[in-house]
Amino acid sequence: KHAGISYILLPMDTAGIEVQPLRTMSGDIGENSFNQVFLTDVRVPKANVVGKRGEGWKIANTTLEHERNSLNANAEGTLMRLARLMNNETMGGVPAMASPVYRDRLMKLQARALSMKHHGMRMLTCSLKGESPGVAGLVVKLQNCQLNFDMAALALDVMGELGALYEHTKYERERGYWQAHSMFSLGLIIGGGTAQIQKNIIAERGLGLPREPKPAKV
């Protein structure tokens, strides 16, 4: 049923393409990352077709596979940034890092980040061998998105009431990095296939579980 899909490269300056930026929930205009695109009588040459006609589904999945391979690249850097925040933020004159509750949450996040790193190395090995990682890429996408959101959640908790500050003022920390990171992570959980879709695919293709029953047609 995917045989009629082809993969075509489309230069964004092609006549008939209109890009309208959308305002995100952070109040920013996402000119480079979040917008709606309208195509009116757009024509492109046949030479822009990638691969062969009808192979679009296969090529699109390969593209997503490589995209997922890179998702875990920044987890350790984000974790180190979180650790610095916990050392700098104080509660009653004591660094947040001294709190056993916050420190326990950080250590659990560190374990997950290291797990993601090794999982990424496993996927890289598959790529170097010319093998498909299968559903491993979906696992990386699913776990990494949740990991980034959980790291941001800890940062906002550490900042206390300042964690709810979404406007640029003299009181904000790291120029609002963690607030923006929290909201962006929510978007990643949805974008590129929602977490629910990823779980279904992992269950069906990876674990061999039966397909989710479709609702009866009325």
Domain boundaries, given as residue ranges, for the chain: 69-206
Higher pLDDT pick, 101 / 138 = 101
Higher pLDDT pick, 131 / 101 = 101
Higher pLDDT pick, 106 / 166 = 106
Higher pLDDT pick, 207 / 66 = 207
In the predicted structure, residue 67 carries a pLDDT above the cut 80: no
- Backbone φ and ψ of 52, nearest 5°: -105, 155
Return the pLDDT at 129.
87
Please enumerate, as own/partner, the contacts of 189-197 that have beta carbons within 8 Å and a separation of 24 or more.
Answer: 189/145, 189/146, 189/149, 192/64, 192/67, 192/68, 192/141, 193/64, 193/138, 193/141, 195/142, 195/145, 195/146
Return the pLDDT at 166.
73
Return the pLDDT at 3.
77
Residue 204 annotated in active site: no
14-22 average pLDDT score: 91
For domain 69-206, the CATH architecture is Up-down Bundle (1.20)
Higher pLDDT pick, 176 / 87 = 87
pLDDT in tens, 25-52: 766 655 567 789 999 999 999 999 998 8
Residue 57: pLDDT band (50, 70, 90) is confident
Higher pLDDT pick, 156 / 218 = 156
Residue 24: pLDDT band (50, 70, 90) is confident
pLDDT in tens, 114-167: 988 888 888 888 878 888 777 777 888 888 889 999 999 999 999 988 888 777
**Structure pTM?**
0.78
Catalytic pick among 18, 31, 67, 131? 67
- Residue by residue, DSSP assigns 3-34 as TT--EE---TTSTTEEEEE-B-TTS-B-TTTS
Torsion of CA 42, 44, 48, 51, to 10 degrees: 70
Mean pLDDT of the chain: 85
